[in-house]
Structure 1
Amino acid sequence: MATYNRASFIEETLHSIQNQIFKDWECLIIDDGGTDNTAEVIASILAKDNRFEYLKRPDSYHKGLPGTRNYGLDLAKGDYIIFFDDDDIVHPQNLELCILELSRNGVSFCRYIREVFYDKFDHTFDYSTEYKTFFIDKKDVFRLLNQDLPFNSCAVLWKKECFFQNRYTEHLLHAEEWELYSRILSTGVTGISIEKTLFFARKHSNSMTGQYFRLDPKRTQSNIDAILLVIKNLKEMSLINYSVIRYFVAMSRGYQEYGLFDKLMKVLEFSEYNYLKWRLFYFVLPLRFKITKLKKKNYKKIIHANSTLFWHTSGSDKNGTAVSRIEKK
């Protein structure tokens, strides 16, 4: 658990970890140089429960979430890894169910559902052990990348071996999980996803996501760096296809001032023909969006114009005979 100035939330989070049904765990709390009274707040928990350990990130690891988590990875003794945040709530069955799925299915990770909450958390949990599952493998890398199959950092339990050759890229300030997890999945490891909420993420104004969407230039540049690293890895793993290129070329329209399109083409090392083909696609993309929007608008008009409303009415005629009829508008 990386932490930074979360004294007001971290105690509740640690208590949710203490309440795990599966008891054989260690929780490494790595402070990324915070200046509040976190150490004082958690002192009583540390004194009573030796499964928690509080450490400071050394300068040999970059400041930030990736460096802090890499330090924790280097210290972790267990066979499984989860990256928890310092202001969220963990379902009591989190470790129990994930480890059960890994042990009986022979897979390398277990993904589960993450829900968002605001303000106070309702500690009423669903303890059901009946849920749907599906397997995830290399063919799902693109679904991870386009968020069709989100991999939130705190919503996956991994076998530690997944990180033997893979670490967080420490200079990234945004999209570091997206980049790392797609890299791990591209190696061919398989996992399972369970359709049960086992983690609850707190949302507030000081969240990392909030800072990014306030257009922090450093985080925007970090996102671009992550995109280029992802493309480089996909190319090395022979996972580049039309859908991948189309997705990232479309994405590059949002980063015109950063020249992302040309940077993508450089990483892909396209021939002049392919470069020109995708350059044309890049330029006509706004027009394609407008045409698609107009088609949808016109389609709705046609549906509305051709729709007829019918309703049934009943009553009696002047002779008192019961009648019913269908009217249309």
Structure 2
Amino acid sequence: MNAFPKVTIIMATYNRAHFIVETLQTIKNQSFTYWECLIIDDGGSDNTIDVITPIMEQDNRFQFLKRPASYKKGLSGCRNYGLDLAKGDCVIFFDDDDIVHPDNLKTSIEVIEKNNVDFCNYQKMSFVDERPAIKRVSVVIEKYLSREEIEKVAAQKIGLASCTVLWKRQCFNQIRFNESLLYAEEWECYTRIISENFKGIIINNVLYYNRKHPDSNTGKFFRNNAVCRESFTQAILLVVRNLKEKQLLSTSLIRYFVTISKDFAKYNLYENIIIILDLPTFEKLKWQLFYFTLPLRISVYKLKKAFKKI
């Protein structure tokens, strides 16, 4: 292992023996070599340790660790444990079933150092079975990202996926993932980081390939998994509270969150948002009217759109 790794890769794993070897091989093949990879087992029961032992014996930059009971089960607990152990100046989170571009670390570090920013956000591409073709990287800067763009980050118009950002470790000096969240934990955490005015760059280069399969958290969410959906509502409330405390919650963002809340009525999301906002009576009535007339306005919008096509 490098005595002073530049980058700490943190990978939570849970029963992914059938995928993880391929992922680790793409990490081993990184053109940038000064890294450590902390593989944090979340209490899995398969033979992950058996299949990765040959890789660890060949390359001591990989470490296999069990999540201690002092960290809650889940991605957040595993990542927080990794953050507390990280030696690198930068940190990055990779999943245990994906493919990493060979120039991922090299490109991201060069972008951060050349532009004197705190993080680099790159693009990802999804695949199912067939491994994607890896293309050579010629960096294309899309835009700079700071607290001025917090509205787009919070409304997910700018997507900071869990595995598509290389961070300077200082971004996590005072921040950790919320361990009560089992879905949308990275969105909630990364929104907090941006709200603290850490600055980064978005590049328009694909450096990560995420595998689509039914057991992924995203797949579960879109199949209406109750745990994921409830976690998403809790993440929304945390984001709303943080932005309100920092006076970064605009009217358009409130409208965005209130609109979303209609799909999560069973979790009382709208009512809890209103409690956090602590609005004057008139403002509260205005948003109540907006919320209850939302289905009608959506129907009218769809009709207008349909007529335009005729």
TM-score category (smaller protein): over 0.9
Q: Deviations over 1:163-212 (max 9, x none)?
A: 01110000111110110001100111110011110000001121111222
Report whether the alignment pairs 1:71 with 2:81: yes
Report whether the alignment pairs 1:86 with 2:130: no
- What is the aligned partner in structure 2 of residue 166 from structure 1? 175
Q: Distance in 2 between matches of 1:240 and 1:131?
A: 31
Report whether the alignment pairs 1:201 with 2:210: yes
Q: Distance in 2 between matches of 1:127 and 1:114?
A: 14
Count residues in correspondence. 300
Question: Is the Cα contact below 8 Å between 2:155 and 2:253 reproduced in 1?
Answer: no
Q: Distance in 2 between matches of 1:146 and 1:241?
A: 11
Cα root mean square deviation, aligned: 1.0
In terms of mean alpha carbon deviation, does 126-135 or 233-242 score higher? 126-135
> 1:125 Cα shift?
1.8
Query: Alignment partner of 1:154: what SS?
Result: coil
Equivalence map 1:233-272=2 (5 Å): 233-272=242-281
- What is the aligned partner in structure 2 of residue 119 from structure 1? 129
Q: Distance in 1 between matches of 2:244 and 2:131?
A: 43
| Amino acid aligned to 2:50 | E
If you compute each CA radius of gyration, which structure gives the higher value, 1 or 2? 1
Question: Is the Cα contact below 8 Å between 2:12 and 2:79 reproduced in 1?
Answer: yes
Structure 1, unmatched stretches of 5+, are: 302-329
Equivalence map 1:20-35=2 (5 Å): 20-35=30-45
> 1:144 Cα shift?
1.6
| Amino acid aligned to 1:248 | F
Q: Distance in 2 between matches of 1:250 and 1:26?
A: 43
| Amino acid aligned to 1:112 | Y
Structure 2, unmatched stretches of 5+, are: 1-10
Report whether the alignment pairs 1:133 with 2:124: no
In terms of mean alpha carbon deviation, does 216-225 or 284-293 score higher? 216-225
> 1:273 Cα shift?
0.8
Q: Distance in 1 between matches of 2:138 and 2:229?
A: 41
Structure 1 length normalisation: TM-score?
Answer: 0.89
- What is the aligned partner in structure 1 of residue 231 from structure 2? 222
Structure 2 length normalisation: TM-score?
Answer: 0.95
> 1:130 Cα shift?
4.1
Q: Distance in 1 between matches of 2:288 and 2:262?
A: 11
Q: Distance in 2 between matches of 1:268 and 1:288?
A: 24
2:108 to 92, 98, 101: 98
Query: Alignment partner of 2:293: what SS?
Result: helix
